[in-house]
Amino acid sequence: MKSNLAAIFLCLWVMIACSDHSFKEGKYFAGGKYVTAETLNKGKMTYTEYCMACHGVNGDGKGLSAKGLVPPPRDFTLGLYKFGQVVSGELPSDQDFKHIIKTGLNGTGMLAWDMSDEQMDSVIQYIKTFAPAAWEGKDKKIGEAIVVTPDPFGEAHKSAAIERGKEVYHITGQCQTCHRAYVSKEELSAMNKKINNQAITDFDANLYEVKSQDSQHNVKTVPPDFTWHSVRSAKSVDELYVRIAAGIGGTAMPSWKDTITNEDIWAVSHYIRYLMDMKDTPAREELIKRLQ
């Protein structure tokens, strides 16, 4: 009997010892940040409790609750993130991760999480361990934070911003090549005549449809119709400014920071906010009907 018990304890000890994947050493991450083994182990506990169901035991986004989620949970093994306040493709800061986890992503399975600062900081460090090639090593760099400049329009000149934003959206930026257009063909042609001194005679057949795009996240991503779909990472004009300047990492949505002027980024941010305000209103129905 006694030896049976001893054998059982020995078995248990072996099982526990062999399944102990805890961190024994700290790690250096991008930006020269050193994180202790203790922090990583705490982060793993928080992750297992709150995040694993969707993001998966291996961080690959294939957790048990991930089935059927559109968009799917982020695959952390790619080391590629969408919504940092950095030019798309660059590594986000801890502050960016914190913002995303605290705020959640509108209209997705990624809800807002309320946790202690210690849990928050440790889980952020832990998710980096899924992508060692991107994060590990003192030489790796975090992207430079996009600075929100003062809004040149503000509330006082909001309608001028929206008017200019409409031109930036449809002519300067051609956002409708992926997203959809929100003006009639006559209006589009007139705007092009005003800006480029040339009328448009040839229109895309799918001018009023959103065009699904390939992404490096191994899924197609849909450019939102701003009067209908959720904008994931932004509600205010300031947040839209950040997103449009930054782009969306690993997707077709480019960074507009050095492509259009700063003033035009602000103008188109006001215009997108104006489109978002149309959601669920009769004005949207009228507009959509008029453009069919």
Residues 286, 292: Cα–Cα separation, whole Å: 10
71 binds ligand HEC (CB under 6 A): yes
Q: Select from 35, 40, 51, 245 the one that contacts ligand HEC (CB under 6 A).
A: 51
Q: Mask 199-238, x = binds ligand HEC (CB under 6 A)?
A: --------------x-------x-xx------xxxx----
Q: Where are the alpha helices (DSSP H) in the chain?
A: 2-18, 37-46, 52-55, 94-103, 117-128, 132-135, 158-167, 185-196, 237-246, 262-276, 282-290
173 binds ligand HEC (CB under 6 A): yes
Residues 272, 63: Cα–Cα separation, whole Å: 34
Q: CA 260 from chain center: how many Å?
A: 21
Q: Closest distance between ligand HEC and the C-beta of residue 137, in Å? A: 20
Q: Closest distance between ligand HEC and the C-beta of residue 75, in Å? A: 9
Q: Dihedrals φ, ψ of 34, to 5°? A: -100, 130
Q: Residues in contact with ligand HEC, total (CB under 6 A)?
A: 49
What DSSP designation does 170 have? I
Residue 17 amino acid letter: A
89 binds ligand HEC (CB under 6 A): no
Query: From its phi and psi, is residue 166 left (phi > 0), alpha (psi between -120 and 50) or beta?
Result: alpha
109 binds ligand HEC (CB under 6 A): yes
Binders of ligand HEC among residues 257 to 276 (CB under 6 A) are 268, 272
Which residues contact ligand HEC by CB under 6 A?
50-51, 53-55, 65, 69, 71-74, 81-84, 97, 100-101, 105, 108-110, 113, 123, 127, 169, 173, 175, 177-179, 213, 221, 223-224, 231-234, 240, 243-244, 248, 251-253, 256, 268, 272
